[in-house]
Structure 1
Amino acid sequence: MNSPHPAAHLVDLYLRLSVDREGKDSLDNQESDLRAWAKDAGLTVRKVWRDRGISGYKDVERPDFENALAALRAREVGTLAVWKTDRLSRRGAGQVGLVMDELETLGARIYFLKDQKDTSVPGDRMIIILLSEFARAESASTSIRVKAKKDKDRAKGRYLGGSAPWGYTVGDGRDGRPSDRKLRLHPEEAPLLREVVDRLLSDETMLAICRDFNARGVPTRRRGSQWRPSTLSATLRSPVLAGLQPEKRRDETSGKWSTSTEAWRDPKTGETVSLMADGAEPIVSESERLRLLDVMDSRLRRYGRGLRPVKQPKSLLGGVLVCASCGRTANTFGGSYRCRRWHSDGVDCAAPLNVKIDVIESAVLHTWAYGLAAMEPDSPVLDAVAEHWLRRYDPAPMQERAELMRDIEEVQAKVAAADDAHFVTGKLSADRYERVTRGLDDRLTALRVRLKDLPEPEANLAALLDPEISHPAILAAPVEEARALLRLAIKRVECTAAPYSGARFVRHERVRVVWVGTEDDDASV
């Protein structure tokens, strides 16, 4: 005979919606309906899991779906309540059947509210399987219809994106425009984009153009944002610049989508397809676009970057080192760390940082090792370092303590809700109030005893506080490990620009370290 489920009175709710929108199946409505059912069933809602804007049909990660099942497997709850079968999964009997078989051995169940089906009821299992297959078939059919419609529109040269690309307007039926989804030149933006192309083909840099646009107050589509080479490059590299239908392609080996777009070609004719409305000309011709791409790619090759999108390398001080003048983080270029605001974003900085990599990294590593060793035993910095050390290298004790604290807070909230329901609104009778609070008090006492019995987590920082050990160790560590060690203790490193070209680097004059566990004013060199 199976033993009673230890958490049979607890229920988790799982909510999912592929497109986050209002409506009868919105996440708020799903939760409201499920909470009402749980209350009528005499169950206590422990946690609500939400996968917002995530498909139940496609093979994509659904973190809260996995977390909800993990809670059932760990016997933290006895029931998982779902608004409808297709909210749990649209991948058919293969997935749902495996889940039901597993739950049967655990004595747990899933309840589907709108279908009024329960996986623990033998007669419901076959119906749940059929409903999940119907959901899978419906999704597959919808996917086929949507793909067919997109293929048809793509071949007719209709723009499939959302908002209009920069430099163009889209015929979307608004403001008296035709609803043909065709492109036409934007009266203000198109001449500016043409200017950019001409300047780049005349060997001007993208950074200089961005600075010029920002100085002139040329607006971007995002309110308050400024022009950056990265955003301008994405606009220029798109086939839409030449009025061509774009396409993102999936890598046949990895299955991942490419980060760049290419001109789509009609599979029947092999020709590119124009998005332009009748009588409208694109900003550049297709041959001009190819010449522009060649110019942009040749510049990337000149700096040894190749043709793939440039990502910030895992430098030792990436995300930690900031320009003292403007507060923007620094990134590496060649042999230096440079103010990202000035050298990458093209935005003004009064005194942009430019410091050699080996010089600044050596200074920071020295400050890290010898600065920690000089801390007083009761320093708040060492307390913060110990906490970070435990979180990274020995997280289990802290996680257990944090989980117990969360459980205690949840029970206390339930006690407060019961008090309110009895003494304020009168919705809870005296007998039921006594039964509810008695159980909650017992639960609260047990949790507090468990918390009291837990040993205090302790971090052994002896090696970290001995510079004769820590300094050689961090110098020899791989970049990823050295970064992790630095960030145990350092919140931010501020570095000023050199007072003049060729000036000798003086660490205590140019470097300011902000330690963890301190206010920004408490810093050292």
Structure 2
Amino acid sequence: MDKSTTGEEVDLYLRLSVDAEGADSIERQERDLRAWADREGLRVREVWSDAGRSGYRDVKRAGFESALAALANAEVRTLAVWKLDRLSRRGAGQIGVVLDDVERVGGRLVFLRDGLDTSSGNASRLPIVTMSEISRAESANTSLRVKSRKHTDRLAGQYLGGLPPYGYAVDDARHFVPLEPEFSSMREVVWRVLEGESLMTICRDFNERGVLTQRAKKHLAKRDRLPGPGCDCGTDEKPCKESLWRPSALSAALRSPGLAGLMPEKTTDEHGRWKAAVVAWRHPDTGETVSLMAPGREPIASEAEQARLLSVMDSRLRQYGRGSRPVRQPKSLLGGLLVCASCGRTAHTFGNSYRCRKWKADASDCAAPLSVSVEAVEEAVVRAWVGRLAQLHDEPESPLLAAVADRWLQKFDPAPLRERERLRSDLEDVKTRLASADDDHYVKATLDIERYARVSARLEEQRARLVLRLAELPQPEADLGALLDPELSLPAFTTASVPEQRDLLRLAIERVEVSRAPKRGTRFDPSSRMRVSWVGD
């Protein structure tokens, strides 16, 4: 088909914001550009592509950068693009830089559908820059319309689109309705996690039982030629390896606001980059979360159930070692709390003993490696915990009491604290915007007096409303009566599960240091070998 294998080379650049079929699909762009190159006697050297990447937003486009680098480094003289808006929709700022680089190396840009070619007189900088600004304005208007529509849909409690969360389908009114058997499968996951099962155990069970994931359904749709998109894993296995249940994916589904049937929202960091976590959207007037469930339909988990679910999941994770990589909690009662007094490393259980991890597991040197009976040290720590909490009855001003109350609220009743923190964050945001408006008006003179008055009045109104809502919030209080009474706390502790016992210990204990026995076989003496570091000390 190529009649010009010995002719001058040309690179092609293809882009589409939404990678799908249509009049301007990636395939259509490449087909038209190859036909043009064939007619011009040019040989296609490289095809650069950015499928599913916006030309308007400030996102990384590997194909775009590589195509321009090849042109700027004189690896190829000509770069052909289907249309100018395929190369960029960011206006004269970006296109002007591109044109400067092309002119510097004597290169050539061709925009096929626009009839523009920088090597001919019909494509001076002016028409290219003008068209680029038109494309930028169109994208800006489209973005504004999309944001406005999404805001209206959110206020109306309508799903914005895309693949619904696992277990739900979307009805004609764009509300969630249960989709069986997926809905029941996720309900099963919720109660099994609340009962103490690990995500790995549940995933293995689901894989053995053949419970289908979203990807497995897509794979089977492709394999059996059923309607719907196919899995792109490139295998005929049933189900494919990529479609198995995995703890990471299951954890993300359980943490998503969609599990509770709530309106989701993606947020950005201080640099404008999208955060990985999705949060529940809140109504701007009421500050309440918005349900997407159809009238009369219940979600997979209520907000309260999901809060308990996340508490259980988070209790299994902690930060230790290098960096802040979350790892699964050990099964032992003092895992993560008990450390070797000699080297400071955590002690792990080996048989019926806690032993210095650095000496036993790392094969490293420890001057006085710890080894202590599990039963003896755990009993001593629990006695110390009960006794210290009982003393707090007579120490109302104790920093430990305040720290225990704070940890109790964060662990067992976090909603009031989260609401207060959210309002404080919103208040700080309003204050920052007020300061920015002051700077734009008084310092930079970019905001005239009339607009400044409107902006500042609106922000002051928001600030006053947030201050009032903060003042109206009841001060969270922890009811620690049962916790501080040994006759109540000790029986409750002994009947609790190990994860629950560990949570209770960590309300008051920061760490427990235990030293090596003076000689082999010596009975464990907590008064001489154990030192408890209390929270707030």
Match of residue 184 from structure 1: 177
Cα–Cα, structure 1 residues 145 and 308, in superposed 2: closer, same or farther, change >3 Å?
farther
Q: Indicate whether 1:209 and 2:202 are aligned.
A: yes
In 1, distance between residues paired with 2:293 and 2:323? 29
- Which of 282, 286, 300 is residue 269 of structure 1 equivalent to? 286
DSSP 3-state at the match of 1:133: helix
- Which of 267, 287, 301 is residue 249 of structure 1 equivalent to? 267
Cα–Cα, structure 1 residues 83 and 217, in superposed 2: closer, same or farther, change >3 Å?
closer
Match of residue 71 from structure 2: 72
With structure 1 as the length reference, what TM-score do the two structures score?
Answer: 0.53
Q: Kindly state the Cα deviation for residue 278 of structure 1 after the two structures are TM-superposed.
A: 0.9
Match of residue 27 from structure 2: 28
Do the aligned partners of 1:109 and 1:119 also contact (CA within 8 Å) in 2? yes
Q: Kindly state the Cα deviation for residue 287 of structure 1 after the two structures are TM-superposed.
A: 1.5
In 2, distance between residues paired with 1:308 and 1:164? 32
Match of residue 218 from structure 1: 211
- Which of 204, 215, 227 is residue 245 of structure 2 equivalent to? 227
In 2, distance between residues paired with 1:274 and 1:139? 31
Match of residue 113 from structure 1: 112
Match of residue 317 from structure 2: 300
Q: Kindly state the Cα deviation for residue 311 of structure 1 after the two structures are TM-superposed.
A: 8.6
Q: Kindly state the Cα deviation for residue 144 of structure 1 after the two structures are TM-superposed.
A: 1.2
State the identity as a percent.
Answer: 57
- Which of 270, 279, 286 is residue 296 of structure 2 equivalent to? 279
In 2, distance between residues paired with 1:57 and 1:117? 21
Do the aligned partners of 2:13 and 2:67 also contact (CA within 8 Å) in 1? yes
Do the aligned partners of 1:300 and 1:307 also contact (CA within 8 Å) in 2? no
Cα–Cα, structure 1 residues 64 and 231, in superposed 2: closer, same or farther, change >3 Å?
closer
In 2, distance between residues paired with 1:221 and 1:190? 12
In 1, distance between residues paired with 2:255 and 2:324? 12
Q: How does 1:22-421 map to 2 (within 5 A)?
A: 22-121=21-120, 124=123, 125-171=125-171, 179-223=172-216, 224=239, 225-252=243-270, 254-301=271-318, 304=320, 310=326, 358=362
Output the amino acid matched with 2:160: L
Cα–Cα, structure 1 residues 193 and 127, in superposed 2: closer, same or farther, change >3 Å?
same
Q: Kindly state the Cα deviation for residue 304 of structure 1 after the two structures are TM-superposed.
A: 4.6
In 2, distance between residues paired with 1:182 and 1:305? 45
What are the ranges of 5 or more consecutive residues in structure 1 without an aligned counterpart? 1-6, 172-178, 313-333, 337-355, 360-525
Return 267-276 or 197-206, whichever deviates more. Answer: 197-206
Do the aligned partners of 1:18 and 1:53 also contact (CA within 8 Å) in 2? yes
Cα–Cα, structure 1 residues 39 and 201, in superposed 2: closer, same or farther, change >3 Å?
closer
In 2, distance between residues paired with 1:305 and 1:270? 39
Do the aligned partners of 2:109 and 2:117 also contact (CA within 8 Å) in 1? yes
Q: Kindly state the Cα deviation for residue 274 of structure 1 after the two structures are TM-superposed.
A: 0.5
Q: Deviations over 1:353-403 (max 9, x none)?
A: xxx9757xxxxxxxxxxxxxxxxxxxxxxxxxxxxxxxxxxxxxxxxxxxx
Cα–Cα, structure 1 residues 299 and 182, in superposed 2: closer, same or farther, change >3 Å?
same
In 1, distance between residues paired with 2:93 and 2:194? 56
Q: How does 1:469-484 map to 2 (within 5 A)?
A: none
Do the aligned partners of 2:80 and 2:110 also contact (CA within 8 Å) in 1? yes
Do the aligned partners of 1:8 and 1:79 also contact (CA within 8 Å) in 2? no
DSSP 3-state at the match of 2:259: helix
Cα–Cα, structure 1 residues 24 and 206, in superposed 2: closer, same or farther, change >3 Å?
closer
Match of residue 470 from structure 1: none
Cα–Cα, structure 1 residues 156 and 9, in superposed 2: closer, same or farther, change >3 Å?
same
Cα–Cα, structure 1 residues 213 and 106, in superposed 2: closer, same or farther, change >3 Å?
closer
Match of residue 477 from structure 1: none
In 1, distance between residues paired with 2:11 and 2:179? 51
Q: Deviations over 1:414-447 (max 9, x none)?
A: xxxxxxxxxxxxxxxxxxxxxxxxxxxxxxxxxx
Output the amino acid matched with 1:195: E
Match of residue 484 from structure 1: none
Cα–Cα, structure 1 residues 66 and 244, in superposed 2: closer, same or farther, change >3 Å?
same
In 2, distance between residues paired with 1:206 and 1:197? 10
What are the ranges of 5 or more consecutive residues in structure 2 without an aligned counterpart? 1-5, 217-238, 329-346, 350-359, 364-537
Q: Kindly state the Cα deviation for residue 297 of structure 1 after the two structures are TM-superposed.
A: 1.0
In 2, distance between residues paired with 1:77 and 1:204? 59
Output the amino acid matched with 1:281: E
In 1, distance between residues paired with 2:60 and 2:122? 31
Do the aligned partners of 1:119 and 1:128 also contact (CA within 8 Å) in 2? no
In 2, distance between residues paired with 1:259 and 1:307? 19
